[in-house]
Amino acid sequence: MMRRPKITVIGSSNTDLVAKAPKLPAPGETVLGSEFIIAPGGKGANQAVAVARLGGDVTFVAKLGMDDFGDQALENFKRDGIRTDFIFRDEEAPSGVALIFVDDGGENMIVAAQGANARLLPADIDAARDAIEGADMVVLQLETPMETVEHAVAIAADKGVPVVLDPAPGRKLDANLIRRIDYLKPNETEAEILTGTRVTDDATARKAGEKLLGFGAGNAIVTLGKRGAMLVTPDESCLIPTFDTVAIDATAAGDAFTGGMAYALADGRELRDAVTFANAVASLAVTKMGAQPSMPTRDELEKFLVMN
C-alpha cells in the first residue's frame, strides 16, 4: 500500500446555514429564497475534509463547543477518516456558525459567528506539536486568533515543515509571518488587502504575487475564480486556467482549491501540477450545494480529469 501524505490542518469548524435565492439581498432588503440546507463548514474543516477525501492522512486541530453542532461535526470528521485527537471542546463558547446566502449564479454572502473558533489558543497548538512537526504539510487560514496562527507557523517552520496559508478572511499580515509561509494563496480581494494592488486582470494578479514574494513568501498563488490561478514563484509566473463546469454554489471553492493543492504538494507533485490539480478539485466542488458536502472524492476527481 502506498504511503498517504500526512497533512495537519489547523483552523475553524462551523455549521453552515445556507439559503438559496434568485439574488443576494441589498441592505434592508428581504428576498424570498428557495432551498435551505444545514451543512458542515468552516474554512479549516472544509480543507481537512477536502484533503481526506482525496486520500490524505489528515489531522485536524480545532475547537468546538459542547453543543449539538459540535457533536455532529466531530461525528462527520470521524466518518471522513480525519484524526480528531486535537479537536478540543470549549464549555463556555458555542460551536461556530456561518449564515450563507447563495444566488442563482453561485455567488455568495457569508457572516460567520466565530464561537469556539476564537478560543483556539497557542496552548492548544502546543498540545498538537507532534502532529505539526511530523506532518508533510501544514495548512492554515485566518478564522482563528492570529497569535494561534503565528505560533503554529513558527513550530512548522522551525522544523522545516512546509506551510500553506489561505489568508482568509482577508487582513494585513505581519512581515515575519509572511516570511515563514511557503505557499501563500489569496484570492483577488485578499491579494489587494495584502499588497495594495487591485487585482483586475492577469497583469495585476502577477504584480500582487510578485509583491508577496518581495515580502518574503516562498510562492504566491493568486486565485482568480473562473479564470484559474496566477502562479508566481522565484522562477516563473503564469496563469493556470481552471476547468469549465456549471457553478451551483461557490461557497467552498477556495477551500477545495487549498485542500487540493496541499494534498498534491504533500504527495510530491511539482507546484504547477499541484495548482492544476487544485483547479480540478475546486471546479468539481462548485457543482454541488454546501461546503463539505461538495468536496469531491478521489474517484470523482479521477473520472473528471479523464473526461477533461
What pLDDT score does 183 carry? Answer: 98
Q: What pLDDT digit, counting tens, does each position of 123-149 carry?
A: 999 999 999 999 999 999 999 999 999
Contact in structure between 40 and 76 (CB atoms under 8 Å): yes
What pLDDT score does 154 carry? Answer: 98
At 80, the amino acid letter reads D
Q: What pLDDT digit, counting tens, does each position of 171-217 carry?
A: 999 999 999 999 999 999 999 999 999 999 999 999 999 999 999 99
Q: What pLDDT digit, counting tens, does each position of 297-306 carry?
A: 888 878 887 7
Segment 11-30 mean pLDDT: 93
Contact in structure between 143 and 44 (CB atoms under 8 Å): yes
What pLDDT score does 55 carry? Answer: 94
Q: With bands split at pLDDT 50, 70 and 90, how would you rate the model's confidence at 249?
A: low
Q: What are phi and psi of 40, to 5 degrees?
A: -70, 140
What pLDDT score does 2 carry? Answer: 66
State the Cα–Cα distance between residues 65 and 5, nearest whole angstrom.
29
Known catalytic residues? Answer: 255
Structural domains in the chain, CATH included, are: 6-12+43-93+118-307 (3.40.1190.20)
